[in-house]
Amino acid sequence: EAGVAQSPRYKIIEKRQSVAFWCNPISGHATLYWYQQILGQGPKLLIQFQNNGVVDDSQLPKDRFSAERLKGVDSTLKIQPAKLEDSAVYLCASSSPDRGEYGYTFGSGTRLTVV
């Protein structure tokens, strides 16, 4: 079974620029999550999708961050404009509790550096 795919692996941008990250979850996983992990911290949830609907986006800075999951499969997370404090690893994960699979599978992440 293929894992959670993320791209790009690394991205360096200047502040005020925009950036987008892509995630393809495990096939058939209805639930998709985007987490932000700042250096030295545990991952923090940004947004959770169930199929193509948003379940929880309470911690998403909506003035600059947006995310979509069209067709309930892959997802894109965008930052516009980026700030220095957005430098972090952005992790995508998927799960399938509807199929009795209670674990979470994470992708390798995208490391963003804002200069």
Partner 1 sequence: KQEVTQIPAALSVPEGENLVLNCSFTDSAIYNLQWFRQDPGKGLTSLLLIQSSQREQTSGRLNASLDKSSGRSTLYIAASQPGDSATYLCAVNLGQAGTALIFGKGTTLSVSS
3-class SS of residue 62: coil
Tokens of 45: 């949830």
- CA separation for the pair 81, 29 (Å, rounded): 31
CB of 16 to partner 1, least distance (A): 26
Residues near partner 1 (CB under 8 A) are: 4, 6, 31, 33, 40-45, 48, 50, 56, 91, 93, 95, 97-98, 102-109, 111
Question: How near is the Cβ of 5 to partner 1 at its closest, in Å?
Answer: 11
User: Cα separation of 13 and 16, whole Å?
Assistant: 9
Q: In terms of CB distance, is 61 or 81 closer to partner 1?
A: 61
- Which residue, 40 or 70, has its beta carbon nearer to partner 1? 40
